[in-house]
Chains A and B, each alone.
Chain A
């Protein structure tokens, strides 16, 4: 059964059940109320009968009878009996009254009682007149009460039927409302296939379960996409990323081997080679771990680094690679509280991401000025990388994160189209966001935002 039908069916069933219970409660209470007021009327009559009997005055008896017939509401087939009570359990018996013994016993015990037999009510009460007790029994037919009960049942039945029909339509409406967001998500998910795995479901504004589901779906797609691509492109990624330190090592050793040098120079060169080899080792390890963990970002032990120091390290590395680069780090807007610059991360990977983005700026601006700005507040860390390079045409922007994608302009430069997708994934793994704004022939501004939890 479809969820929509199941919701409708459940809603209708629950509505019928609750309506039925309500009808029953109304009916029972209505009947009880009817009976209460009918007995109240019988009680009034009994008092009048007792009073007439006590006064034993024909004129007053006539007056009361008149009052009863004209002033009080008429009772059907009304009759009253006054029975003299002789002793504790004995009284004069009237043969017209065919009442059970229990009724008399109860009246004698409690001074008042009632019983019902086929819509006829009997009300009995004991009155004391100057030491002499009398048992007054008043009886009448309650046909009107029965009629109104019947009328009530009819209303409830028709109303109940109407309500069930209404519940059916409301249930369908509810089911549609409930299922609609799921249907929307299904429709959007169908759009996403292996070729466009970088697409995401549009995030809904509110904070309901559907927003959670969308978020979960997007997170799953993140993991799926990253592990999909990283595993598929591991060798490419590895060779791309390992190229930089290897180039430095080769260049360094080549320069050193050109001629004989002083021991200090050798020491400096070896230190540099050692550092680069160390970086190579860390990178290999990180990339290997990346494939092992499926890139889900759930690493248990993270490095805590200062983002300004990370940027300075990246700048140091770039200085070796592009000695005449014009990368300017601008830390004018740093907070007084240094702890706000701390970021829990995988240090080699985040360095790699930042290095990829900044070196893209250097590369595609033909070594023009690149500004790297860092600012931090309690809620986020913001890195902005601005270059005045060739820019990115708007039609290329949606494809920037696809591995091996090379824009028309960009194909003039050496590269594999792997740096930015990898950087994007690393940043996303660190709960960061990467935004690119660009104008062709004007420049590009890359904004990286790391939000704190």
Chain B
């Protein structure tokens, strides 16, 4: 089974992420794991922890969750699971991914924009993991992605032909263009050519590769945000 993890703050765009996941599932069995991350209250006793920790969802979140469940009900093979997570570590994420057989993470834009520490930390861990990540943008559509632009990493050996294998069978896109910046510095210069290719070829998905080693600070996913398209980031295999 190829399950999908959606780390979420349960805002409106989570519904969009679930729609994308459902579109990818087609008629295959799928479990969607919605994960909320909360900060562990700094308390001395278990009872006090229970009192301090926020229980349940607020009304807006309940509504979003209900909408997600409703969407899933239309597909009999899809199950939605809600996971409330207090703190996250690298081994925990690795084991969780293995246990739930997660093969793709879809990150709604609100989660990326969130400034909460647990969210930032989780994002950082996720980008250092080997799971492919699809980062959505507010303006992206639900339509299944068909045409992709592959942005090569300057130092990477991954070629367009290898991408389908790295994505692990998710989405039925086809790479119609590829871009190779001469170096990391000239991303800005590349932008007009990228916009040109996107509009000419009707591209609706960007694909980039990321290094498997630890990357501190902001990763390169952010570089392509201004193109306004969802970015699918796959981990480069170690050659």
- Chain B interface size, as a band, is 20 to 34
Interface pair A304/B175, CB less than 8 Å apart = yes
Q: Which of A316-368 contact B (CB under 8 A)?
A: 339-340, 342, 344
Decide: A340 near B194, CB < 8 A? Known: A304-B150, A304-B175, A305-B176. no
Interface size class of A (residues with CB under 8 A): 10 to 19
How far does the alpha carbon of A378 sit from the alpha carbon of B185 in the complex, in Å? Answer: 32
User: How far does the alpha carbon of A340 sit from the alpha carbon of B179 in the complex, in Å?
Assistant: 19
Contacts of A452 in B (CB 8 A): 159
CB pair A339–B162 under 8 Å, yes or no, is yes
B161 near A: Cβ within 8 Å? yes
Contact of B193 among A300, A305, A453 (CB under 8 A): A300
B69 CB within 8 Å of chain A: no
- Known A-B contacts A301-B197, A302-B177; the reply to A339 vs B164 at CB < 8 A is yes
Q: Is the CB of B180 within 8 A of A342?
A: no
In the complex, B100 has a CB within 8 A of chain A = no
Residue B83 interfacial (CB < 8 Å): no
Is B58 in the interface zone, CB < 8 Å from A? no
Against A, the Cβ 8 Å flags (1 = close, 0 = not) of B147-181 are 00110000000011110110000000001111111
Inter-chain contacts of B161 with A (CB < 8 A): 339-340, 342
* A304-B160 contact given A342-B175, A344-B178, CB 8 Å threshold: yes
Which residues on B sit within 8 Å (CB–CB) of A344?
159-160, 178
Contacts of B197 in A (CB 8 A): 301, 303
> B178 is contacted by which of A298, A302, A339 (Cβ under 8 Å)?
A302
Whole-angstrom CA separation of A301 from B162 in the bound complex: 18
B53 on interface, CB distance cutoff 8 Å: no
**Bound complex: CA A342 to CA B164 (Å):** 12
Closest to A452 in B: B159
Mask for A289-327, Cβ within 8 A of B = 1, else 0?
000000000101111110000000000000000000000
Which residue of the partner chain, among B159, B175, B196, contacts A301 with CB atoms under 8 Å? B196
Contact of B201 among A303, A339, A453 (CB under 8 A): A303
| Interchain nearest-CB distance for A149 vs B (Å) | 61
Tell whether A301 pairs with B179 under 8 Å between CB atoms, given A342-B160, A342-B161, A452-B159: yes
Q: A453 to B157: give the CA distance in the assembly, Å.
A: 9
Q: Which residues of B contact A340 (CB under 8 A)?
A: 161
* Interfacial chain A residues near B96, Cβ < 8 Å: none
Instruction: Enumerate A252-305 residues with CB–CB distance to B below 8 Å.
Output: 298, 300-305
Contact B176 A300 (CB under 8 A): no
Task: Decide yes or no whether B190 CB sits under 8 A from chain A.
Answer: yes
CB pair A301–B182 under 8 Å, yes or no, is no
Contact of B176 among A298, A303, A339, A453 (CB under 8 A): A303
User: B227 CB to closest chain A CB, in angstroms?
Assistant: 12
What chain A residues lie within 8 Å of B149 (beta carbons)?
A: 301
Chain A residues closer than 8 Å to B190, beta-carbon distance: 300-301
B182–A300 CB distance below 8 A: yes
Residue among B164, B179, B181 making CB contact with A302, cutoff 8 Å: B179
Central interface residue in B159, B162, B181, B182, by most chain A CB within 10 Å: B159
Nearest A-chain residue to B181, judged by Cβ:
A300
Beta-carbon contact of A301 and B176 below 8 Å: no
In the complex, chain A residues whose CB is within 8 Å of the CB of B194: 301
In B209-225, the 8 Å CB interface with A consists of none
Q: Of B178, B181, B182, B193, which one neighbours A304 at CB under 8 angstroms?
A: B178
Which 8 A-B residue pairings sit nearest by Cβ, starting from the closest? Answer: A339-B161, A301-B179, A301-B193, A304-B175, A301-B197, A304-B160, A342-B161, A344-B178
Q: Residues on B close to A: CB < 8 A?
A: 149-150, 159-162, 164-165, 175-182, 190, 193-194, 196-197, 201
Kindly list 17 other residue pairs between chains A and B, CB separation below 8 angstroms, not including A300-B180, A303-B178, A339-B164: A300-B181, A300-B182, A300-B193, A301-B177, A301-B194, A301-B196, A301-B197, A302-B177, A303-B176, A303-B201, A304-B160, A304-B175, A304-B178, A305-B176, A339-B160, A339-B165, A342-B175
